[in-house]
Structure formats: C-alpha cells, structure tokens
Amino acid sequence: MNNLPFTKPSIDDETIAAVVDVLRSGWLASGPRVQQFESALADYVGGRTVRVMTSATAALEIALAVAGVGPDDEVITTPMSWCSTANVILRLGARPVFVDVDLDTRNIDLDALESRIGPRTRALLPVHFAGLSVDLDRLYAIARRHRLRVVEDAAHAIGSSWRGRRIGATGDLVCFSFHPNKNMTSGEGGAIVCNDADEARQIERHRFNGVERIGVDGLEVHFPGMKANLSDIAAAIGIGQLRRLDEFNARRRQLVAHYFDRWPADSMLRLPARGDDGHSWHMFAPLLPLDRMKIDRAEFMRRMQSRGIAVGVHYRAIHTLATYRKLGWKDGDFPVAERIGRETVTLPLFPEMTLAEVERVIDAAHAVVAESRA
C-alpha cells in the first residue's frame, strides 16, 4: 500500500520545461518572468496591481508597513493561523490584538472584533482560514467606520471568492502564499494585491533593500528594506501553476465533497464548516474527540502513519507559543482557538489524490478513533 502525503504539489512537464528555459537563459533573479507572473496574477484578480516576493510572510510584513503600521501601533488579528501572521506585527514594533475565532469556520469572530478596536489600532489582519473567506462585507464596514486599513491574510485563499467576488479582486491590501503546500506554488513565494502605482512602488522598495533605481547608473536607498524579490526561476513555476489553478481548486472541491458525503453520520470527529463554491479548500482539518479517546493527538498521527497516511497539524493557537506567553498571553485567553489548536488534524488533500484514497483516509481515521475510545 502506497504512502499518502497530506499534501503534494502538481508540477507538469510544461512548467518543468519553462524552468529549464530560465536556467538556460542566464537570467535567474528577478526579470522578465517575474513581470509576466505579476501581469498574469493581476489579470486573475480583475486587473488590480500585484507585486510578488519570496514568501507570504514577507508580503504580510511589507503590506503592514505600506499600511502605515509601526512602533506602538496595534493590529487586530486572529490567534488561529501560522505564527507569521502575528510575528510580522511584532517585527514592525507593533502589538497584535487577538480576537477569538469561530469553532467551525476557524475565521475571526467579527461579532467580537469591533469591541477590541482602540485608539492605537491601525489595521485589521484577518485570515481566510483554509480558503474559506471571512465575511468581507462586514469586515470592510467595520474598517470604514473606524477608518482602518485592512491587510487580508489570503495565504490559504488563492482562487477563493466571497459572494462571487474573487479574493483579491476587491478590498485593500491582500496577501497570497505560493508555498509548496498551497493550492498553487512557485516553490516558495508570495504576492500583494495593492491599490495604486504609489503603493506598488513602495512594495518594490520594501522587497529590495529600500532601493530606487535612478537612470542607467544611479540609485537611492530610502529606508532599510528587506531582500525579498522573487527569482525568475520561481516565477516560471508560478506561471505554470496559475494556468492550472482553477483546475486544481475544482478538484479540491470534488475531493472535499467526497469527504463530506462519505463521512459517517455518527462520527465523533467534528468537521469544519463546509462553506460554498467560493471555498478553495486549501486543507481539510477535522477536530479529534480527544476527551473521549485514550490516546493523544501525537499517537493518533503515529497510528495513521503506520497505515501509510500522513497527517498534519494546522495550527497551534499563536498566543500559546513561547514568544507570545512572554508578552503576557496565557491559556484560557481565547478558548475556541485553544480547542482547535489541541484537537485539529489536517488530513490528506491534493489534486492528484483519488476518491478511493479519500475513502481510505476516512476509514483509517475512524478505525484509529474507534480502537482508542476511552
């Protein structure tokens, strides 16, 4: 029986050939392929301006800087995400203000968000968790009332939509990820959808040491930026992946529909919110019934691995990590995120997966739970 990863990128021969062409061209750093990738992404989000960089982490930090976030500011965000969502706030000298999440959508609780806005709040930083969009109408209504910038962490949500509007086609600053485990990849990479040419110039300077090129032989350094420009090698992969993104996402939706359809009605595992056709399903992560099991999550993962099935964890609640405990957060501050962080397991989901493999995962997960019931 083959080993089943929890995710796997699909790279076709045409994309591999495009990378070879770049390698043979002699131009490996940012060049014509980066410009082509940015143009294709701009078309994908309805003609808005897009700039790419080496990761979504860099994209989030740059976007917050462009939004004016700096020392002593506050940014409202979620504790249920990869740690970089909050890390970039700290790196700018600001402070994250966490708001708990919904148990099933895993998205930030908009009912609780507005009460956390204070005089130092500069921006809102929601996450479209697993590809399921936050309610953008409510989010932006809150932002307008309080004159706040919005940086959307859409690392999971390339190809997702909200009420028929593609994520990135509207809104303020929107950040995507092209990490290998995302719905499309450039090896490593990220992007920012921005509002105008001025913001695009700021992003270009932030991603390349604060540099502005002047004429044929001149340059100026406006601030100490980072080194986060994407290579043409990565861009060539991204171009090929973007061409197939809608195909990939359609297959993900089909696989997830099979998960839901074949999931036992009496299952003790709690499924995530199903969403609608706008959900791009970056990952599929039910919750384990640990309070009714004799084993912990690590042992569940080991037993799944013994059956040839890899399982991930997405994510531990950010405020329970050491860096954030040192800043004063503690267990009990955000109980829903903490429960998700304890119980979540990420099951296999990728375009090359078969419907039979979905059934294999379902059977294995429920067999492990059944044999370990307390």
Digitized pLDDT (tens) for each residue of the chain, 374 residues in all = 689 999 999 999 999 999 999 999 999 999 999 999 999 999 999 999 999 999 999 999 999 999 999 999 999 999 999 999 999 999 999 999 999 999 999 999 999 999 999 999 999 999 999 999 999 999 999 999 999 999 999 999 999 999 999 999 999 999 999 999 999 999 999 999 999 999 999 999 999 999 999 988 899 999 999 999 999 999 999 999 999 999 999 999 999 999 999 999 999 999 999 999 999 999 999 999 999 999 999 999 999 999 999 999 999 999 999 999 999 999 999 999 999 999 999 999 999 999 999 999 999 999 999 999 98
Closest-CA residue to 125 (of 160, 105, 95):
95
Q: What is the pLDDT of residue 171?
A: 97
Amino acid at 267: S
Q: What is the pLDDT of residue 91?
A: 98
Reported in sequence order, the residue ranges of 171-327 that DSSP labels E, i.e. its strands, are: 173-177, 190-194, 211-214, 218-221
Rg (alpha carbons) of the chain, rounded to whole number: 21
Amino acid at 170: T
Instruction: Kindly state whether residue 139 falls inside one of the protein's structural domains.
Output: yes
Instruction: Kindly state whether residue 156 falls inside one of the protein's structural domains.
Output: yes
CATH of the domain at 314: 3.90.1150.10
Cβ proximity of 101 and 340 under 8 Å: yes
3-state secondary structure of 99: coil
Instruction: Kindly state whether residue 8 falls inside one of the protein's structural domains.
Output: no
Q: What is the pLDDT of residue 241?
A: 98
Instruction: Kindly state whether residue 51 falls inside one of the protein's structural domains.
Output: yes
Say whether both 143 and 276 belong to one domain.
no
Which residue among 243, 262, 297 closes a domain?
Answer: 243
Active-site residue among 182, 227, 294, 326? 182
Instruction: Kindly state whether residue 1 falls inside one of the protein's structural domains.
Output: no
- The whole-angstrom separation of Cα 357 and Cα 251 is 14
Question: Would you state the structure tokens that stand for residue 199, as one six-digit string?
Answer: 């913001």
Say whether both 68 and 136 belong to one domain.
yes
Query: How far from 42 is each of 35, 139, 155, CA to CA, in Å?
Result: 10, 23, 16
Counting the structural domains of the chain, the total is 2
Say whether both 88 and 55 belong to one domain.
yes
Q: What is the pLDDT of residue 69?
A: 98
Sequence-distant (≥ 6) Cβ neighbours of residue 46 within 8 angstroms: 166, 168, 169
Say whether both 220 and 263 belong to one domain.
no
Which residue among 207, 223, 243 closes a domain?
Answer: 243
Q: What is the pLDDT of residue 2?
A: 87
Say whether both 189 and 125 belong to one domain.
yes
- DSSP assignment letter at 305: H
Say whether both 228 and 276 belong to one domain.
no
β-partners of residue 293 are 373
- The whole-angstrom separation of Cα 148 and Cα 62 is 17
Instruction: Kindly state whether residue 6 falls inside one of the protein's structural domains.
Output: no
Question: Would you state the structure tokens that stand for residue 163, as one six-digit string?
Answer: 């009420």
Closest-CA residue to 168 (of 59, 54, 330):
59
CB-count burial class (<10 Å; 0-12, 13-18, 19+) for 219: exposed
Known catalytic membership, residue 227: no
Q: What is the pLDDT of residue 374?
A: 86
347: domain range?
Answer: 245-371
Say whether both 236 and 259 belong to one domain.
no
Instruction: Kindly state whether residue 3 falls inside one of the protein's structural domains.
Output: no
Is beta strand 149-153 parallel, antiparallel or unpaired with respect to 165-166?
unpaired
Say whether both 94 and 233 belong to one domain.
yes
Amino acid at 305: Q
CATH of the domain at 116: 3.40.640.10
- DSSP assignment letter at 373: B
Instruction: Kindly state whether residue 181 falls inside one of the protein's structural domains.
Output: yes
Cβ proximity of 22 and 233 under 8 Å: yes
Say whether both 71 and 144 belong to one domain.
yes
Say whether both 86 and 192 belong to one domain.
yes
Using the structure block, give the residue that is written with the tokens 């959808």. Answer: 193
| Helix (H) or strand (E) run with residue 88 in it | helix 84-91
Which residue among 243, 263, 287 closes a domain?
Answer: 243
Say whether both 181 and 219 belong to one domain.
yes
Say whether both 238 and 335 belong to one domain.
no
